[in-house]
Amino acid sequence: MLINVHGHLLPRNVWSDKHWDLLASQVASSLNLPKETVFEQMLPQIWNIDAERLVEVMDSAGIDKAMIMGVDFGMSWVGEAPWSVEEMNHYIAKQVEEYPDKLAGICGVDPRRGERAIKILEKAVEEWGMVAVKIWPVTGFYPDDREFWPFYEKCVELGVPVHSHTASVIFPGQESKWADPIYLDGVASHFPDLKIVMVHFGAPNWTYKCVGIMSGRPNVYVEISGHQTFAAAMPQRWLSDLRYYLNIPSVSAGRSIGDRIMFGTDWPLGVQLALIGLSEEVWVDWVKKIPEKGKEYGLKFTQEEVKKILSDNAKKIHKL
Ligand SMILES: [Zn+2]
C-alpha cells in the first residue's frame, strides 16, 4: 500500500479572497503571466478539484491512500475565509467519507483559536474520524508557546499526531522564521506521547536540523512533500543525504530515522501552480526507484527502506 500523507482539497471558500489574490500575484510573477490568467485559468482548476478527481489522480499515480488536510489561515493577516474553520473541516470530512478506503482526513486548525480549536479538533476526530491535526506556524506563531499546551494535551488524549509546517515559506504574507523546526523540540520534549510530524522535512535547508531534533526525540517524524524539486534537480546530493539520515544510529528501538520518514506530495497546490516540478506519477516512481538511482552514485538502499517511507511508517504512525 502506497500512502501520501500530504494532500489538499481547496475550493475557493477555504481561503480569503485576499489570500487567493496574493497567491495569484506571486504565481503570475514567477511564471511571467498576467495575474488575470492565473486567476481565471489556473486557480479555478484547483477550486474545482473534488474527491472524485483526487482519487483519479491517485489511481493513475499508483497511490493507494492519501491524507487530506484542512488549512486554517484565518488568523493571519489575509483574514478569515468565507467558510468558518468548522465548515472547512466538515467539507474535508464529507469528501473523505465518499472514499473511506482511499482517503483519510487531517483536521486543519490554528491553535491560537484556544478553546474553539480544541472543540473543533475533538469533533473532527471523534465525530468525523479525522486521524491527525495540521498546524501552520508560518501564519504567525511559534508552536512551543505554552499557551498551546492544552491543545497538545487534547491531541495526546485523542491519540492524534500533530503535523506542523517546517520549510521555507512560499505563500505571501507568511514568514519562515516560525517554520524553524527547533520550535517543535520543546513540544516533543514536554509531550513524549505526542507524535509530531515535521511537514516538508525542513526543505530545503533545515533537513539536518530536523534530523538533529529527531535523533534526540523518538516522537518526532518527517514527511518529504516539497522535496520533489530538490531530489530531481540534485539527485546525488539528495540521495547521499538520505543515506546519511538512514545510517544514524537509533536512540530508541523501532524508532530509527528510517522508521520515521513518510512519503508526501502536497498535491494539487505545487503541481497545479507550477511551484513543484514533478507530477504525482513521476514523484512516486522516483521514490520507488531509490535503490536503482542510488546505485548510480555508489549508494546502497534496500527495498525494505523504501517500503517504510512509502507505506509502513505512515500506516503505523496514523494507525491506518
Ligand atoms: Zn500542503
Residue 248, CA distances (Å) to 89, 157, 241 in order: 38, 31, 11
Rounded to the nearest angstrom, the distance between the alpha carbon of 59 and the centre of ligand 1 is: 20
As a whole number, the mean pLDDT across the chain is 95
Of 83, 82, 49, the closest CA to residue 68 belongs to: 49
- 247 phi/psi in degrees, rounded to 5: -85, -15
What is the distance in A from the centroid of ligand 1 to the CA of 289?
24
Where residue 66 falls among pLDDT bands split at 50, 70, 90? very high
Strand partners, 7: 68, 267
- In this prediction the pTM is 0.97
Going from the Cα of 107 to the center of ligand 1, the distance in angstroms, rounded, reads 13
Cα(5) to ligand 1 centroid in Å equals: 10
According to DSSP, the β-strands at 261-262 and 220-223 are parallel
Ligand 1 midpoint to CA 69 (Å): 8
The residues that bridge with 162 in the sheet, in sequence order, are 133, 196
Using an 8 Å Cβ cutoff, are 223 and 5 in contact?
A: yes
User: Ligand 1 centre and the CA of 7: distance in Å?
Assistant: 6
Task: For the chain, report the end-to-end CA distance as a whole number of angstroms.
Answer: 11
Segment (H or E) for 130? none
Rounded to the nearest angstrom, the distance between the alpha carbon of 125 and the centre of ligand 1 is 20
How far is the C-alpha of 292 from the C-alpha of 299, rounded, in Å? 9
β pairing state of 65-69 and 3-7: parallel
Å from CA of 252 to ligand 1 middle:
30
Rounded average pLDDT over 190-210: 97
Q: Which spans in the chain are helix H?
A: 17-31, 35-37, 43-47, 51-61, 85-98, 115-126, 149-158, 185-190, 207-216, 228-233, 235-247, 269-272, 280-288, 290-296, 303-307, 313-317
| Nearest to 93, CA basis, from 73, 107, 80, 110 | 107
Distance 145 CA to ligand 1 centre (A): 23
pLDDT in tens, 285-296: 999 999 999 999
pLDDT at res. 181 = 98
User: Total structural domains in the chain?
Assistant: 1
Structural domain including 10 reads 3-317
pLDDT at 171: 83
**Residue type at 59 in one-letter notation:** D
Question: Average pLDDT in the 263-277 region?
Answer: 81
Q: What is the CATH number of the domain that holds 239?
A: 3.20.20.140
> 254 falls in which pLDDT band (50, 70, 90)?
confident
- Residue pLDDT, tens place only, 137-168: 999 999 999 999 999 999 999 999 999 999 98
Q: Rounded to whole angstroms, how far apart are CA atoms 287 and 294?
A: 11
- 293 CA distance to ligand 1 middle (Å): 27
298 Cα–ligand 1 center, Å:
33
Q: How many angstroms does the Cα of residue 6 sit away from the middle of ligand 1?
A: 6
For residue 222, pLDDT over 90 is answered with yes
Cα of 174 from ligand 1 centre, angstroms: 14
